[in-house]
């Protein structure tokens, strides 16, 4: 893994361990709970908006795991073990 990519992953992991990230994810999960019901959806436009919001929230909530999987696929875990 080259140095730029290694730094990219280190920055991501630092972000995921920050208080700000934890607070953001907590807020997003609350938002997800409030918009996951179709009650109150009056039209297809609102339904599509909620669907889009949920897609983005799910992506953000899953980003740490996705990043870890990508990092491990790059040999990142093995590199840490070798150091």
16-65, pLDDT tens digit by residue? Answer: 999 999 999 999 999 999 888 888 899 999 999 999 999 999 999 999 99
**C-alpha dihedral sign at 12, 55, 20, 77:** negative
Tokens linked to 7: 């730094």
Nearest-Å Rg of the Cα atoms of the chain is 17
Q: What is the mean pLDDT of residues 5-15?
A: 94
Residue 81's pLDDT is 41
Residue 27's pLDDT is 97
Q: Which residue would you say has higher pLDDT here, 5 or 1?
A: 5
Are the C-beta atoms of residues 16 and 24 closer than 8 Å to each other? no
CA-closest candidate to residue 40, choices 49, 29, 28: 49
């Amino acid at each position: 893994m080259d140095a730029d990519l290694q730094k990219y992953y280190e920055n991501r992991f630092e972000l995921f361990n920050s208080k700000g990230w934890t607070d953001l994810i907590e807020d997003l999960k609350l938002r997800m709970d409030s918009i996951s019901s179709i009650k109150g959806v009056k039209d297809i436009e609102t339904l599509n908006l909620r669907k889009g919001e949920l897609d983005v929230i799910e992506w953000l909530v899953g980003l740490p795991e996705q990043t870890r999987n990508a990092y491990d696929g790059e040999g990142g875990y093995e590199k840490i073990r070798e150091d």
